[in-house]
Structure 1
Amino acid sequence: MKIEVRQKELSNKISIALKAVSRKTNIQIHELIYFEAKDDTLILSSSDGEISIRTKLKVNVIEEGEMAINATIISNIIRKLPDSTVRITLEDSKINIRCNGSNFNILAFDYYDKKELKVPSVDYLEIENDKLKRSISQTEFATSIDETKLALTGILFELKQGYLNFVALDGYRVALKKIKLDYPGSMDNSRLIIPRKSISEWTRIIDDETKTQIYKDDKDIIFESGDTTMYCKVIDKNYIDYTNIIADISTTTVIVNRIELINALERAQLLNNTQRANLIKISLEEDVCKIESNSEIGDLKEVVHIEKEGDDVKIAFNARYLLEGVKACDTDTIRMNLKSSLNPCIIYPNDSKNEGEEFTYLALPVRLAE
């Protein structure tokens, strides 16, 4: 194999392939990137057993061929080279890398478990990358870290009534993002649970200017955008029926400035030991929201001005659970719907600027002794 390629272009593609390289494994093939030069294209493939990535770029192929190389080594070498033409040659299991005055000779590896990453000929879902990124960032934090509740460690993708729903919950809160979307009728009522790590890695790969096509193939979900394809396994479990959980039975509505509330909640956590529950007490009275935080170190009282309709409410929360939901909203003000100290608080963005998108966040209260 013999190719010529620009350093910056190759470095960018290697960084993508690295997303599917395991750094904690004794399995050699999970530490490698597979290079295949054919026609005028270089294809890079990698897999860590959970996700597999295939990405490609145009290069000058002088001699076709293929090789496997340690991902960390090739990444470090290419990243440190100047932005010039890189010449890579494979001969007798030795890889020669030249760029300006640099001349590396490193060992090639055998790559026995080459996986064909092909996109199936089935109906697919297409979504703008900026919407996909925004939806994942608004939900992924609410997934569970409890591996005994495997279904809840992923994000539910649900196609229903003309919407793509993203759902995450961990037993203490629920994050639901809905996007109005055109999709093939054959896909209606489809539900897939995508591992959080997999979809998070995908959002770090894609750019905002293009779209992602999503395919289902047996037990794999395939994401494709531009020159990059990612395979990952879905979580084959039943997901909780979240619709009853987020039913809104509120009798009190509060409108509050989002940034002012975020700042107050962050200050309320300063005196709490991070190893314990960050308990805060909230009192909604007339046009003010009173926030109290107490610990063995001291106490804090905050006041944030609000617009309120309905009864006064006194309620307590884990501050982190409430704060993350408020941060996930993308508007200047938010709407908080409540009923009592025993019922959840449901948060909505107020006057969202993103047409065809809806976000709902539910946080369960902490029950306090009288």
Structure 2
Amino acid sequence: MKFEVKQNELINAINIANRAVSKNTNIQIHELIYFEAKEDRLSLTAFDGEITIKTFIEARVMEEGEMALKANLFTNIIRKLPNDIVKIESKDGKISIRSQNSNFNLLAFEYFEKQDLELPDTSPLEISNDKLKRSILQTEFATSLDETKLALTGILFELKDASLNMVALDGYRVALKKNSMDYQSEYENSEFIIPKRSLMEWSRIIADDSITKIYKNENDLVFQAENTTMYCRVIDKNYIDYRNIINKTSETSVIVDKAKLVSALDRAQVLSDPGRANLIRIEIAENHMIIKSNSEIGDVKEVIEIDQEGPDLNIAFNARYMQEGVRAFDSDKIKLNFKSSLNPCLIDPVDSKYEDEEFTYLVLPVRLAN
């Protein structure tokens, strides 16, 4: 194998492939990047047992072929080369890497578990990357860290009523993002639980101004955008019926400036006690929201002006759960809906910036002793 490629384009492709390289593993093939030079392009593939990523760039190929290299070593070499043409040749079990006055010679790996990475012969589901990235960021934080509840460690993709619903919940809060979109009828009433890590890696790879195509393939979902493809296994478990959790009825509603509430929660959390579930108390009265927090070393009180409808209310929350949910909204003002001090708080945007998107967040209160 013999080819030439631009250093900056090669390092960008390596950075993408490295998303599927294991950092701590005893399985050698999970530490490698597999290269294939064919016709006028170079493809890079890596997999770590959970996800597989394949990306390609243009190259001047003199001799077609394949090779595998340890990812961290190859990355360090290419990163330190000048921004110029890199010439790579594989011959007799050795690989030479040359650029200007630099010349490296490495031993090639003879074994790599080559996979069939063809796109499925099905109609893809298409979504703009900026919308997908927003939806991932608005849900991923609410997934569970408890591996015994495997379904809740992923994000639910639910296709229903011309909408893609993305749902995350961990037993204490629910993040729901609805995206209106067109898709083939074969996808209607389909649902998949996708591991959080797979979606986070994909969101770091894709560019905002492009499209992601999602293909269904037996036990896998395939994500494809521009020159990069990712294969990930879905979580084969049943998801909780989140619709029964979200109740729109309320007794007390308040409209509040999102930025002011985030800042107040940030300051209140400084003195919240981790041993008491990062507890904050919220009092709603006379068009003001009073946020209180205390610990052994002191206390804090924040007062925010609000538009209040309904009776006064005292309620308590885990500060982090409330803060993460509020921060996820892209609107300037949000509406908090309360039924009682023992029922969940349901939060909606007042002035969403995106007409075909809806984001809803639900957080359970902390029960207080009298």
In the alignment, the residues of structure 2 paired with residue 330 and residue 126 of structure 1 have an alpha-carbon distance, to the nearest angstrom, of 23
Aligned to 1:29: 29
Shift of 1:158: 0.3
Q: Unaligned regions of 5+ residues in structure 1, if any? A: none
Q: Which amino acid aligns with 1:282?
A: I
1:67–1:111 contact (8 Å) kept in structure 2: no
Aligned to 2:211: 211
Q: 1:367–1:274: structure 2 CA closer, same or farther, 3 Å change rule?
A: closer
In the alignment, the residues of structure 2 paired with residue 342 and residue 111 of structure 1 have an alpha-carbon distance, to the nearest angstrom, of 59
Structure 1 residue 229 corresponds to structure 2 residue 233: no
Q: Which amino acid aligns with 2:77?
A: I
2:257–2:333 contact (8 Å) kept in structure 1: yes
Q: Which amino acid aligns with 2:256?
A: V
Aligned to 2:181: 181
Structure 1 residue 157 corresponds to structure 2 residue 157: yes
2:272–2:319 contact (8 Å) kept in structure 1: no
Shift of 1:123: 2.1
Structure 1 residue 13 corresponds to structure 2 residue 13: yes
Shift of 1:287: 1.0
In the alignment, the residues of structure 1 paired with residue 297 and residue 49 of structure 2 have an alpha-carbon distance, to the nearest angstrom, of 47
Aligned to 2:364: 364
1:34–1:111 contact (8 Å) kept in structure 2: no
Structure 1 residue 191 corresponds to structure 2 residue 191: yes
Shift of 1:273: 4.1
The percent identity for this pair of structures is: 62
Aligned to 1:316: 316
What are the equivalent positions in structure 2 for 1:39-188 lying under 5 Å apart?
39-188=39-188
2:273–2:294 contact (8 Å) kept in structure 1: no
Deviations, residues 226-280 of structure 1 (Å, cap 9, x unaligned): 0100000000000000001012121111100001000100100111344651100
Aligned to 1:284: 284
**Local SS of the residue matching 2:306:** strand
1:159–1:188 contact (8 Å) kept in structure 2: yes
RMSD: 0.8
**Local SS of the residue matching 1:136:** helix
Deviations, residues 314-364 of structure 1 (Å, cap 9, x unaligned): 100000000000000001111111111001001111110111000000000
In the alignment, the residues of structure 2 paired with residue 22 and residue 116 of structure 1 have an alpha-carbon distance, to the nearest angstrom, of 20
Q: After superposing the two structures, state which structure 1 stretch, 28-37 or 110-119, moved more.
A: 110-119
TM score, norm. by length of structure 1: 0.99
**Local SS of the residue matching 2:280:** strand
In the alignment, the residues of structure 2 paired with residue 299 and residue 62 of structure 1 have an alpha-carbon distance, to the nearest angstrom, of 71
1:157–1:167 contact (8 Å) kept in structure 2: yes
2:123–2:215 contact (8 Å) kept in structure 1: yes
**Local SS of the residue matching 1:18:** helix
Q: Which amino acid aligns with 1:240?
A: I
In the alignment, the residues of structure 1 paired with residue 297 and residue 210 of structure 2 have an alpha-carbon distance, to the nearest angstrom, of 50
In the alignment, the residues of structure 1 paired with residue 30 and residue 275 of structure 2 have an alpha-carbon distance, to the nearest angstrom, of 35
In the alignment, the residues of structure 2 paired with residue 210 and residue 35 of structure 1 have an alpha-carbon distance, to the nearest angstrom, of 25
In the alignment, the residues of structure 2 paired with residue 102 and residue 63 of structure 1 have an alpha-carbon distance, to the nearest angstrom, of 22
Shift of 1:216: 1.0
**Local SS of the residue matching 1:243:** helix
Shift of 1:111: 2.8
In the alignment, the residues of structure 1 paired with residue 84 and residue 300 of structure 2 have an alpha-carbon distance, to the nearest angstrom, of 58
Q: Which amino acid aligns with 2:36?
A: E
Report how many aligned residue pairs link the two structures: 370
**Local SS of the residue matching 2:248:** coil
Q: Which amino acid aligns with 1:331?
A: S
2:273–2:279 contact (8 Å) kept in structure 1: no
1:174–1:361 contact (8 Å) kept in structure 2: yes
Shift of 1:83: 0.8
Q: 1:276–1:110: structure 2 CA closer, same or farther, 3 Å change rule?
A: farther
Q: After superposing the two structures, state which structure 1 stretch, 199-208 or 109-118, moved more.
A: 109-118
Shift of 1:220: 0.5
Aligned to 1:245: 245
**Local SS of the residue matching 1:352:** coil
TM score, norm. by length of structure 2: 0.99
Q: Unaligned regions of 5+ residues in structure 2, if any? A: none
